[in-house]
């Protein structure tokens, strides 16, 4: 059978690979990409869009990969034996973590089939990650909102920290510390997971930041007491991802924009928020045509040392870098397209995708082995 005259993949027809580059104003460096549908291949791409290194992991990514301070790869893999908890589970669970050398040698592995979404590889070698557990029917009925009935089986988040030996050193349960009445599920989301912690971070003073997807908002939890000490509410953000604490105490957030109140079109933003000034937005990026920048799921942003911001528009596999004035100085579209390998994930994420959970930019000095 001959190939079609026109590429059937819409995103690829619009252009893939390096789209734009202003070398004089870009931070440069290398971008780490772990595509959701590339079968466990992880790519390091230079500023010109060329692949300079590749890892091949035994499982596809549950979510993302990072470069650790020692130069190794920290990989968040999809656990092959994680039981299906609800319909989208296979698309976004992880639970199979690897530390891998540049040569591909696995030097550490940790497994928790209850893990989903984000994980943070902490400076002390610990792993901080989100997991979930099913709550009883009485608690589920206390959680307001959502599209399903109150008797739908409900999972609630459990955030865990383990040390290098895999020993649990800290655990926080949403059902024990959050009042469901203050954190209702938005009517546009199902009632299968509450409040769905899709992103984590740790502030300089030790608060654990948690992005709450189905309820919308970001909280900061005191590790000693488990109490919420910081709250960026749904009036500021809209079903966001990736709360990143900055050196000055501000928080960078990828604001997805699902069900954004008062908006006649859906659009995403990147926000820098000062939680000490009543959650004031001190910087933001949005496209001048707002709906041309929109990722309904996943996404992250990274503040670079030169003041620019690296942005991952996850659903389209579009990565770009903007100056503080919002000018695009680098743009790259992930060129690896495929379907999810398992039927359950394809049911909720159909089509040939180039999506990615998060990507990160690194300076050459962070990759001495390259």
pLDDT tens-digit profile of 246-258? 999 999 999 999 9
The string of DSSP codes covering 243-312 is EEE-TTS-EEEEE--TT-TT-SS---EEEEEEGGGTTEEEEEE--SSGGGS--SS--EEEE-TTS-EEEE
Cβ neighbours of residue 138 closer than 8 Å, sequence gap 6 or more: none
d(CA 169, CA 222): 15
Cβ neighbours of residue 229 closer than 8 Å, sequence gap 6 or more: 207, 220, 221, 222
Asked if 250 contacts 236 with a C-beta cutoff of 8 angstroms, the reply is: no
Cβ neighbours of residue 35 closer than 8 Å, sequence gap 6 or more: 41, 43, 61, 317, 334, 336, 354, 355, 356
> For the chain, percent helix, then strand, then coil, each to nearest 5?
10, 40, 50
Length of the chain: 370
Whether the predicted pLDDT of 236 surpasses 80: yes
DSSP, collapsed to helix, strand or coil, labels residue 109 as strand
Whether the predicted pLDDT of 229 surpasses 70: yes
Query: Average pLDDT of 345-356?
Result: 90
Instruction: Tell me what pLDDT residue 347 has.
Output: 81
Asked if 315 contacts 326 with a C-beta cutoff of 8 angstroms, the reply is: no
Backbone phi, psi, residue 314, to 5°: -65, -45
How far is the first Cα of the chain from the last one, in angstroms, to the nearest whole number?
A: 42
Cβ neighbours of residue 258 closer than 8 Å, sequence gap 6 or more: 186, 188, 238, 239, 266, 296
Token pair for 20: 């734009």
- Residue 348 to residues 50, 169, 187, 260, 309: CA-CA distances in angstroms? 32, 35, 19, 22, 31
Asked if 154 contacts 145 with a C-beta cutoff of 8 angstroms, the reply is: no
pLDDT of 85-109, one tens digit each?
999 999 999 999 999 999 999 999 9
- From 66, 30, 67, select the one nearest 51 (Cα to Cα): 30
State the pTM of this model. Answer: 0.97
pLDDT of 161-211, one tens digit each?
999 999 999 999 999 999 999 999 999 999 999 999 999 999 999 999 999
DSSP state letter for 341:
S
Instruction: Tell me what pLDDT residue 345 has.
Output: 86
Token pair for 255: 């604001």
The string of DSSP codes covering 172-227 is EEHHHH--GGGSPBPTTS-SSEES-EEEEEE-TT--EEEEETTT--EEEE-TTT--
Instruction: Tell me what pLDDT residue 4 has.
Output: 81
């Amino acid at each position: 059978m001959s190939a079609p005259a026109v590429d059937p993949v819409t995103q690829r027809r619009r252009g893939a690979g390096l789209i734009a580059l202003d070398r004089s104003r870009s931070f440069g460096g290398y971008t780490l990409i772990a595509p959701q549908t590339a079968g466990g291949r992880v790519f390091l791409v230079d500023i010109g869009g060329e692949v300079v290194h590749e890892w091949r992991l035994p499982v596809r990514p549950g979510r993302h990969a990072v470069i650790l301070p020692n130069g190794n790869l920290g990989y968040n893999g999809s656990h092959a034996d994680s039981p299906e908890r609800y319909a989208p589970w296979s698309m976004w669970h992880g639970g199979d973590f690897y530390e891998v050398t540049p040569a591909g040698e696995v030097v550490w592995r940790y497994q928790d089939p209850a893990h989903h979404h984000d994980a943070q590889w902490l400076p002390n070698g610990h792993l901080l990650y989100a997991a979930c557990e099913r709550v009883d029917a009485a608690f589920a009925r206390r959680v307001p909102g959502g599209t399903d009935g109150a008797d739908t089986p409900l999972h609630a988040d459990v955030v865990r920290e383990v040390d290098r030996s895999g020993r649990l050193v800290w655990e926080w349960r949403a059902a024990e510390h959050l009042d469901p009445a203050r954190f209702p599920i938005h009517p546009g989301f199902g009632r299968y997971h509450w409040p769905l912690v899709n992103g984590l971070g740790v502030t300089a003073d030790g608060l654990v930041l948690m992005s709450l997807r189905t309820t919308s908002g970001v909280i900061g939890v005191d590790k000693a007491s488990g109490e919420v000490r910081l709250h960026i509410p749904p009036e500021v953000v809209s079903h966001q991802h990736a709360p990143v604490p900055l050196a000055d105490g501000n928080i960078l957030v990828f604001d997805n924009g699902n069900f954004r109140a008062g908006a006649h079109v859906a659009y995403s933003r990147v926000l820098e928020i000062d939680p000490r000034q009543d959650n004031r937005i001190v910087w933001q990026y949005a496209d001048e045509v707002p709906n041309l920048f929109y990722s309904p799921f996943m996404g992250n942003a990274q503040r670079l040392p030169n003041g620019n911001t690296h942005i991952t528009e996850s659903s389209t596999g579009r990565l770009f870098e903007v100056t503080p004035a919002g000018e695009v100085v680098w743009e790259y579209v992930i060129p690896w397209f495929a379907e999810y390998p398992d039927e359950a994930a394809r049911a909720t994420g159909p089509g040939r995708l180039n999506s990615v959970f998060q990507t990160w930019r690194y300076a050459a000095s962070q990759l001495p082995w390259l």
